[in-house]
A and B are shown apart, each in its own frame.
Chain A
Amino acid sequence: MRIAAYWSQTVRGILRIAYKLLVNDRAKFAALLVGITFAVFLMVQMTSLFAGVLFRASATVVNVGASIWVMDPAVQTVASSIPMPDYMLDAVRSVEGVKYAVPISSGSGLAKLRDGTYQAVNVVGLDDATLFGRPGLLQGDIRDIYADNGFLVVKDSEFSKLENPKVGTDFEINNHRGVIVGIAQVASSGLFGIPTLYTTFTRALEYLPQQSFTISYILVEPKSQNDVARIKSAVGRLGYLALTKQEFMSQISRFYMYQTGLGLNLLLMTIMSFVVGLSISGQTFYTFVLENLEKFGALKAIGAKGYELVYMILFQAGFTALTGYGLGVGICAGLLFSAKLKVPDYAAVITFPILALAFVMVLIIAGISSYIGVRKVLRIEPFDIFRG
C-alpha cells in the first residue's frame, strides 16, 4: 500500500511523461516493438517446435504410461529399443518391491494397402495376459485383439495414411494378414509420421522380424514409490537399466537435444533471435535516448534527479519490452493455433518454461538497451546544455 502510494505520488507524473515521449515518437516506438516482437516470436516459435518434437519423441512412453521401464543400457530413445532376453522378465518379476512386470515389444512393419502401395507402420505388442499399456478405444471391443490377426489402429493425424480403415478392414503386414478390430486414441502421436498399430505381444513376434531376444522393454509397476530406487538398483546389478517414466522422457529429450544437432540448431536460432532483437531495439533505443539527451539534460538542470531520469528510461525500456513480449507471444500462439487447425498433430507446444525463457531474454534485451541509455543520461551534465 505504501509502495503504491509512493509510486502514485512520486513517479506517476514523470512515468507518464516517459510514456508519452516513447509512444508519441511513433516511428521509433514501432521499430522498437518490431525488434522485440520479432525476437520473441522467433524464439518462442523455435523452442515450441523443439518442445513439440521432444514431447512427440516420448509419445510411446506417455501413451503406455508405465511407471518404470527396464531396458538395455545402450537404449537412447524409445524408438530404438534393443531386445532383451526372456529371462530378464522373470528376473525383474523376482525383484523385491515389484508389484508386476510385463513385456512389451515395439518395432516397425510394412503394411500393404488395398491400392497396392506400402506404408511403414509402428507395431506395439502388448502383454497378452494383461494388455498393460493398451490405448482407449473409440470403436470396437478390446477383447477382439485376441481374435485371429487382430490389430487396433490409432486414430491420429497419420490414420489417413492407412486409407482411413474401419473396424473389419483387412490389410497385409509383413506378408501376414491383419484385421482392424478397434479404432483407438492415444494422448500423443509419434514423432516420425507413421501410423501406429497395437496387437498382442505374441502376435507382434509373429508379424515382426525377430532376433534371438524378443522383449523390447519390461514395464514395471512398483509396490510403492519407496521401492523405485531398490528396483533400479537390482536391475542395474543385472546389467540392465531401469528408468522411471520421467527419467526415460528426460533421457530421450537429452538425446535429441545433445546428440542430433537439434539442440545446437535451437541454441543458434535462440542466440540469433536474441541478437536480432538486441540489435534492432538496442540501436533504436540508443537513438531515441540520444535524440532526447539534451532534453534530459535540461530536465536535470531544472531539478530532475538522476534516479528519476533512470526511472524514465527503465520504464520506457520495460514498457516496450513487455509490449513486444506480449505481441511476440500472441502472434506466435496465433500462428501455431492456425497451423494446428490445418495439421491437428502439428508438433509444437508453448510451455511455461518457454514463456519464461523468452521473458528473461526480453528483460535482458531491455536491460542492455536501457543500460546504454541510462549511462548516457547520467553522464549528461546540465552545464553541457548551457554550453550548447
Chain B
Amino acid sequence: MAQVAIEARGVSKWFGEGETRTVAVHDVSFEAKFGEILYVVGPSGSGKTTLLSLVSGILRPNEGTVAIEGVDIWKLADNALADFRLNRIGFVFQDFHLFPRLTTAENVALPLFLKKRDWDQSIAEARKYLEIVGLKNRADLPPVKLSGGEQQRVAIARAIISSPDILIMDEPTASLDGDTGRNIVSFVRNNILNDKRCIVVVTHDARISEFADRTLLMEDGKLKGIEKGNTHA
C-alpha cells in the first residue's frame, strides 16, 4: 500500500466577503499517494489552480487542513513553510517562468542557490539534470534560445533538482503543441515519477489523460468525483 503524500481534509477557499464573496474551492478532501500521478481536471474557473495552490503551501485555505507527509503545512510559520516548499515540493509553472537573463543551467540551479549551495557545485548539478531531461548541450544558452518543449524540460529540471517528494505541475502542456505536450508528460511519467515521488498535474488537456493514475474532477469549486485510470500502464 503506497504511503500518503498529500492529505487534504475539508479544504475551502473563498475570496472577498459579504456580497462579493466568491467561493473558489469548497470542502474538498482527497489523498495523493507516492508513486502516482494525480490529475486535477475541470472547466475553466472550477477551482483547479486554487486547489493546487492550497495543497502546495502557496495559498492559505479559509477552512480545512493540508498535510504533506504528515506535516500540517498551514501550521508552519511563513519562513518554515518557504523552506518546506524549497525542500519538499517542486513546481513547474504553466509559463515556465524562467529568467531570460540567466543561462539554462543557472535557471535550473536556482533552488540550489536558494538552499545556499556552492555556486559551482550547483551549476554542475544543474548540468546533470539537464542531461536527464535531454538538454545537456543547452546548458549555457539563455532560455529564450530554446523551443517551448525545451523550456518546459528546463522547468522540469529546475523543479526536480532539489529532489522534491511532491512535484506540482500547472498546465504543463498549455504552451506546447500536441506532440510535444504528450512527449513531456510521457517523459515525466517514465523518468521523473518514482515510488518516493507524487506528481500532481492540473490540466484540461484531454490528450494527456492516459498518463494519469487518478483524476480529480473539479466543478464550481467542488470535487465532483475521483476517477481511476492509467491507460498508459
A residues lining the B interface (CB < 8 Å)? 9-10, 12-14, 16-17, 20-21, 24-25, 292, 294-295, 297-306, 308, 381-383, 385-388
Q: Does B93 lie within 8 Å of A20, measured CB to CB?
A: no
Q: Tell me the bound Cα distance from A385 to B113 in angstroms.
A: 21
- Shortest distance in angstroms between A307's beta carbon and chain B's nearest beta carbon? 8
A302 and B101 contacting across the interface, CB-CB below 8 Å = no
* Between-chain CB contacts (< 8 Å), 22 pairs: A9-B116, A13-B113, A13-B116, A14-B114, A21-B99, A295-B99, A298-B93, A301-B58, A302-B86, A302-B110, A302-B158, A303-B85, A303-B111, A305-B78, A308-B114, A382-B53, A382-B58, A382-B59, A383-B50, A383-B53, A385-B97, A386-B53
Q: Is B79 on the interface with A (CB-CB < 8 A)?
A: yes
Give the residue among A21, A292, A303, A388 with the most B Cβ atoms within 10 A.
Answer: A303
Residue B117 interfacial (CB < 8 Å): yes
Known: A17-B106, A24-B102, A295-B97. A304 touches B114 (CB 8 A): yes
> Does the CB pair A305–B79 fall under 8 Å?
yes
Query: Which listed residue, B50, B82, B99, B170, touches A304 by the CB 8 Å rule?
Result: B82
- A299:B116 contact, CB within 8 angstroms: no
Chain B residues whose CB sits within 8 angstroms of the CB of A14 once the complex forms? 113-114
Alpha-carbon distance between A109 and B106 when the two chains are bound, in angstroms:
75
- Neighbouring A residues of B49 by C-beta, 8 Å: 386-387
Do B102 and A17 have beta carbons less than 8 Å apart? yes
For B89, the chain A residues whose CB sits under 8 A away are 303
Nearest residue in B to A15 (C-beta to C-beta)?
Answer: B113
With A299-B110, A302-B86, A383-B58 given, is the CB distance from A24 to B53 under 8 Å? no
B119 on the A face (CB < 8 A): yes
- Chain A residue numbers with a CB within 8 Å of B104 are none
Residue B87, interface by CB 8 Å: yes
Chain A nearest CB, measured from B51 CB (Å)? 10
| A292 and B99 within 8 A (CB) | yes
Decide if B209 is an interface residue (CB 8 Å cutoff).
no
Determine if B83 is an interface residue (Cβ-Cβ < 8 Å).
Answer: yes
Give A141 to B218 CA distance when docked, in angstroms: 106
Q: B52, A17: Cβ atoms under 8 Å?
A: no
Contact indicator per residue, chain B 72-98, by CB within 8 Å of chain A (1) or not (0)? 000000110011111101010111011
Given A13-B122, A386-B170: A20 touches B116 (CB 8 Å cut-off):
no
Report Cα–Cα, A25/B116, bound state, in Å: 24
Cα distance, A25 to B83, chains bound together (Å):
29
Q: Please indicate the chain A residues that have their CB under 8 angstroms from the CB of B95 in the complex.
A: 294, 388
Counting contact residues on chain B (CB < 8 A from A), the size range is: 35 or more
Q: Tell me the smallest distance from the CB of B78 to a CB of chain A, in Å.
A: 8
Most buried by A among B83, B89, B94, B114: B114
In the docked arrangement, what's the CA distance between A388 and B52, Å?
A: 13
Distance in angstroms between the alpha carbons of A280 and B149 in the assembled complex: 38
CB distance from A385 to the nearest CB of B (A): 6
- Which of B50, B114, B119 lies in contact with A302, CB distance below 8 A? B114
Once the chains are docked, how many angstroms separate the CA of A169 from the CA of B134? 91
Q: Which of B91, B101, B114 contacts A25 (CB 8 A)?
A: B101
Closest chain B residue to A9, Cβ basis: B116
Q: Could you mark each residue 35-56 of chain B with 1 if its beta carbon is under 8 Å from any beta carbon of chain A, else 0?
A: 0000000000000011011001
Chain B residues with CB under 8 A of A24 = 101-102
Closest CB in chain B relative to A258 CB, distance in Å: 50
Could you say which residues of chain B place their CB within 8 Å of the CB of A303?
A: 82-87, 89, 111, 114
Alpha-carbon distance between A12 and B113 when the two chains are bound, in angstroms: 8
C-alpha spacing A13/B122, complex, angstroms: 10
Tell whether A17 pairs with B110 under 8 Å between CB atoms, given A298-B97, A386-B49, A386-B52: yes
Chain A residues with CB under 8 A of B56 = 301
**Distance to closest chain B CB from A11 (angstroms):** 8
Bound Cα distance from A105 to B58, whole angstroms: 82
Closest CB in chain A relative to B129 CB, distance in Å = 15
CA distance A237 to B113 in the complex (A): 74
Given contacts A13-B119, A382-B58, contact A301 B99 (CB under 8 A): no
For B145-161 the 0/1 string (1 means CB < 8 A from A) is 00000000000001000
Residue of A nearest to B174 (CB): A388
The docked-state distance in angstroms from the alpha carbon of A297 to that of B82 is: 12
Q: B116, A302: Cβ atoms under 8 Å?
A: no
Task: Point out the residues of chain A lying under 8 angstroms from B58, CB to CB.
Answer: 301, 381-383, 386
List the B side residues contacting A300 at CB < 8 Å.
82
CA distance A12 to B74 in the complex (A): 30
Interface hub of A294, A300, A387 (most chain B Cβ within 10 A): A387
Q: Determine the chain A residues whose CB is within 8 A of the CB of B83 once the complex forms.
A: 303
Top-6 shortest CB links A-B: A303-B86, A13-B113, A298-B97, A24-B101, A303-B85, A382-B58
